[in-house]
Amino acid sequence: MIYLKTAEEIEMMRKACDLVSRTLGEVAKWVRPGVTTARLDSIAREYIQDNGGTPACLGYHGFPGTLCIEVNETVVHGFPSERVLEEGDIVGADCVAELNGYNGDSCYTFAVGEVSPEIMSLLKCTKESLYKGIEMAKAGKRIGDISNAVQTYCERRNYSVVREMCGHGIGRSMHEDPEVPNYGRRGIGPVLRDGMCIAIEPMINLGSKNIVIERDGWQTRTKDRKASAHFEHTICIKGDEPEILTTFNYIKESLGDRFI
Ligand code: MF3
Ligand code: CO
């Protein structure tokens, strides 16, 4: 069941999405060699709570963090830990904040210090593929048009698209219908309509598309242990011009000329 949001609900979504975006902007200030991922997680939790929100991942089916932490080969759902980030690592911070009953969801993959050109290209391609998907998110188009745009953009550059994890509808629940795969054929799937809010989140691998889920049932890594990147925005369908409800502008402010 796909919920179309009213104007009032979209305004609530904007506020939740602004909170999650500002949270990632705070996290960005702390990403550097020597920091633990647990530290990044507590920055996010405190920021959300200090601003009247609830960290929606924390305790969700038992998930142990505010952020899903994705270091190097981790694709999704990594646990915050005492692991110390090192120069050349990448770290994804995937965050959901609930505010007044509505959820905002966004993810950004940061370079820790200097990373190799190969990894930098993976980050750039993955981020750009998110915007390629968003470009297709017009009323009257279908989910498959978004999926196909992401897949085509990444595979043309010889990266691979994770199959098992998808974007999703979002609103009062963190995960609503429809599923938003990052691969698939144009013209298939649910029709996009005004008021639909969806999270688009390409998870793109440097090597093969295959993943392994650890025995904890959460932490997911590439099978070949090569790097994986992940970027996510929550958007709302609005005629020909989707509204991107989350923003990387706060991250940009925090990173300055390190922003890619
Ligand atoms: N942003 C992730 C998603 O899009 C959030 C997962 S939160 C968790 O699904 F609680 F499941 F870890
Ligand atoms: Co999501």
pLDDT of residue 252: 98
Mean of pLDDT values over 184-204: 98
Residue 192, token pair as written in the block: 């996009």
Q: Which of 48, 58, 94 to mutate to test the pocket of ligand 1 (most atoms within 8 A of CB)?
A: 94
**Residue from 76, 218, 235, 245 to probe ligand 1 pocket by mutation (most atoms less than 8 Å from CB):** 76
pLDDT at 169: 98
Q: What's the pLDDT tens digit per position in 96-125?
A: 999 999 999 999 999 999 999 999 999 999
Are residues 154 and 126 in contact, defined by beta-carbon separation less than 8 angstroms?
yes
* Residue 168 CA, closest ligand 1 atom number: 4
Residue 136's pLDDT is what? 98
CA 58 – ligand 1 centroid, Å: 10
pLDDT digits (tens, 9 = 90+) for 120-140: 999 999 999 999 999 999 999
Q: How far is the CA of 8 from the centre of ligand 2 (A)?
A: 22
Residue to substitute in 21, 58, 174, 232 for testing ligand 1 pocket (most ligand atoms within 8 angstroms of CB): 174
CATH number of 7-258: 3.90.230.10
DSSP state of 196: B
Q: Where are the domains of the chain?
A: 7-258
**Helix (H), strand (E), coil (C) string for 84-149:** ECCCCCEEEEEEEEEECCEEEEEEEEEECCCCCHHHHHHHHHHHHHHHHHHHCCCCCCEHHHHHHH
Per the CB < 8 A criterion, the answer to whether 220 and 183 are in contact is no
Query: pLDDT band at 14, cuts 50/70/90?
Result: very high
**Cα(212) to centroid(ligand 1), Å:** 17
- What is the separation, in whole angstroms, between the first and last Cα of the chain? 37
Beta bridge partners of 228: 205
- Rounded to whole angstroms, how far apart are CA atoms 22 and 90? 20
Cis before 117 (ω within 30)? no
Q: Is 158 helix (H, G, I), strand (E, B) or coil?
A: coil
Radius of gyration of the chain (CA): 17
User: Which residue lies with its CA nearest to atom 11 of ligand 1?
Assistant: 57
Tokens found for residue 209: 């598309």
pTM above 0.95, yes or no: yes
Other CB atoms within 10 Å distance of the CB of residue 124: 13
- Number of Cβ atoms within 10 Å of the Cβ of 8: 8
Residues near ligand 1 (Cβ within 6 A): 57, 60, 63, 68, 77, 94, 96, 105, 107, 199, 201
**pLDDT, tens digit, 9 for 90 and up, residues 58-97:** 999 999 999 999 999 999 999 999 999 999 999 999 999 9
CA 91 to chain centre: 12
Tell me the CA–centroid distance for residue 199 and ligand 2, in Å. 5
